[in-house]
Amino acid sequence: MIRRTFAAIALAAVAIASPASAKTLTVGANIGNVPWEFQNEAGETVGFEVELVQEVAKRMGYDDVSFENIPFNGLFSAVQSGRIDAAVSSITITKKRLESVSFAQPYYDSDQSLSVLKSSGIDGLKGLGGKTVGVDTGSTGDMWATEHQKEYGIGEIRRFEGLAPAMLDLGNGGIDGYISDIPAVAYYIKDKPQFAVVERIKTGEQYSVMFAKDSPLATETTKAISTLKKEGFVQQLHEKWFGTKPDASTSTATEAEMPKL
């Protein structure tokens, strides 16, 4: 009995000394979304948004950030249910999404794009008549393609869980074109000359961190991002991951308010 008592005291002491009270921010991401969040050759999760969220969390008093790999379409229910604290994956702020979730201020301006195999002969959206187009499930590219399917005569819309499998299918001839965020595609194909972005689709999108509806974390994150923009941290991330300084008029360089309906 005495030995057991001493053992219990020892375990309790270890528990008190352990970092059990460490404050961790749990973030969902569709890992494989280059250059925003993906695994490098060492198996580490890296990317523009990974570094941004890690620095934001540090400024908010968190000791660590835990990334959870979730398909893009599942990120919305994951934040709404409280399974995760926040989500990133080049998520576009839209009025429809603001009805059920909240966003911090934006940090990247983007558009959609159509990418194809150069050998396909497709040189723009007008060449999609009767063709099969790939999109990321639940993305703004998915929304755009669905809305404009009849206008361009798109034969079929095929949905993928991320850029990598879609581009693989495009390379194999399984789809004729891929509609997705232009920065991710441009980064992915920079060393793959068989592909080309043949048309930029103007949508005026802005990316941000997503939270449960009315979560106070959205307000805290907005303040932290403002500080990082003032310090030039976000601009430096842009230069690191895209090779150029951001335009001074974009949300990467300019402070913005937290989006509201």
Which residue is it, tokens 């008093």? 61
Tell me: do 96 and 220 sit in the same domain. Answer: yes
Residue 136 identity (one-letter amino acid): D
pLDDT (average), residues 234-246: 92
Tell me: do 102 and 130 sit in the same domain. Answer: no
Longest dimension (CA), the chain: 82
Answer yes or no: is 17 within a domain.
no
Predicted confidence band of residue 190 (pLDDT cuts 50, 70, 90): confident
pLDDT (average), residues 81-95: 97
Tell me: do 98 and 217 sit in the same domain. Answer: yes
Q: How far is CA 160 from CA 113, 137, 251, in A?
A: 16, 6, 28
What's the total number of domains in the chain?
2
Tell me: do 49 and 164 sit in the same domain. Answer: no
Answer yes or no: is 10 within a domain.
no
Answer yes or no: is 253 within a domain.
no
Answer yes or no: is 131 within a domain.
yes
Full-model pTM: 0.82
Tell me: do 120 and 199 sit in the same domain. Answer: yes
Answer yes or no: is 56 within a domain.
yes
Q: Residue 142: its pLDDT value, please? A: 97
Calpha distance 247→237 (Å, rounded): 13
Answer yes or no: is 261 within a domain.
no
Question: pLDDT of 17-55, one tens digit each?
Answer: 444 568 999 999 999 898 999 999 999 999 999 999 999
CATH number for the domain that contains residue 214: 3.40.190.10
Tell me: do 121 and 199 sit in the same domain. Answer: yes
Domain that holds residue 159: 110-205
pLDDT (average), residues 228-243: 95
pLDDT (average), residues 72-93: 97
Q: Lowest mean pLDDT of 11-20, 49-58, 129-138, 197-206, name the range.
A: 11-20
Tell me: do 63 and 192 sit in the same domain. Answer: no
Q: Residue 63: its pLDDT value, please? A: 97
Answer yes or no: is 101 within a domain.
yes
Tell me: do 198 and 215 sit in the same domain. Answer: no
First to last CA, the chain: 64
pLDDT (average), residues 245-250: 92
Residue where a domain stops, chosen among 154, 183, 205: 205
Tell me: do 201 and 213 sit in the same domain. Answer: no
Tell me: do 193 and 214 sit in the same domain. Answer: no
Query: Going edge to edge, which strands form the sheet with 156-160?
Result: 156-160, 132-136, 177-181, 108-117, 195-207
Question: pLDDT of 45-61, one tens digit each?
Answer: 999 999 999 999 999 99
C-alpha dihedral sign at 235, 141, 179, 91: positive
Please state, for a pLDDT cut of 90, what percent of the chain lies above it.
Answer: 86
